[in-house]
Amino acid sequence: MKLKNHIAIITGGARGIGFGCALELAKEGASIVLSDRPGSAELAGAADAIRALGGRCLAVEADAFSREGCEAVMAAALAEFGDVDALVSVPAYNRRASFLDYEGEVFEGILKSALLGSFHMSQLVCRHLVARKKPGKVVFISSVLARVPNSRCVAYSAAKAALNSMMQTMAVELFEHHINVNVIEPGWIDTPGEREHYSDETIAAEARKLPWGRLGTGEDIGKAAAYLCSSDSDYVTGTILPVDGGYRLKHCRDVPAETV
């Protein structure tokens, strides 16, 4: 197990990508601090699923978009496990609207969810690691939309692009402390949130456009996160890792010979 005796905080971990990351890190032996918003209906069940694998898991209800919420997560982690080795920062949400119709308050809310929460949580974790003079790993979950334009996603795309840039600056500043900081860019992932917003027919049609012929899963992202949290990635920092099933390639397939 590559993460035995490691303690990892997963914010936004009750379902979807966050839960997939928590599962894969737990499979590699990590003890998990699983955080999600207050009142999350899925958090307790997600924690039970991790414990069913034989892993240790602390569930924490906290607003990971705010400084106070992140401080609560960090305090709970240290009270339960006494240390932290890694962070996987997931929380964010999207609201689709055209640029001309986008409301400023909605834009600010998405920036807060995707960027400020990750800043607060990662700063707390990294300050702890530096104070303990120990190496560590920080993984941010960004999006393919940070670098591939898509309509009606102006705030989300901007926030994720900023997250990528923040990661690289952090990597430059923290490498002397042996803290690796990286980003995973998921493509279209089959999550409960996507199922709530899109019909089965739409999801199936989009999956057919991908070279792999399917949407990704939370576990696909989780496997990448487990790698970036392990010693296997000790020589990897400041990197943007796409895990998108070829999303960027979906319009670049060869034209069938009979049509040329």
Residue 105 belongs to domain with CATH number: 3.40.50.720
SS3 13: coil
Is 1 a member of any domain?
no
Binning the chain into helix, strand and coil, the percentages to the nearest 5 are 50, 15, 35
Q: What is the pLDDT along the chain (260 residues), one digit of tens a residue?
A: 999 999 999 999 999 999 999 999 999 999 999 999 999 999 999 999 999 999 999 999 999 999 999 999 999 999 999 999 999 999 877 787 888 999 999 999 999 888 999 999 999 999 999 999 999 999 999 999 889 888 888 899 999 999 999 999 999 999 999 999 999 999 988 877 777 777 888 888 888 888 888 999 999 999 999 999 999 999 999 999 999 988 877 665 554 555 44
Options 93, 102, 156, 235, the catalytic residue: 156
93 in any annotated domain: yes
Domain assignment present for 253: no
Active site residue 156: yes
* 61 lies in some domain: yes
How high is the pLDDT of residue 162? 96
Do the domain assignments include residue 218? yes
CA distance 43 to 49: 10
Q: Is residue 182 part of a domain?
A: yes
Per DSSP, the three-state class of 28 is coil
Q: What pLDDT score was predicted for residue 227?
A: 99
Q: How buried is residue 114: exposed, middle or buried, by Cβ count under 10 Å (0-12/13-18/19+)?
A: buried
Structural domain includes residue 258: no
Domain that residue 209 falls in: 7-248
Spell out the residues 6+ positions from residue 33 whose beta carbon is closer than 8 angstroms to its own. Answer: 7, 8, 9, 10, 57, 58, 60, 73, 76, 77, 80, 81, 84
Query: Is residue 178 assigned to a domain?
Result: yes
Give the number of domains in the chain: 1
Residue 194's pLDDT is 74
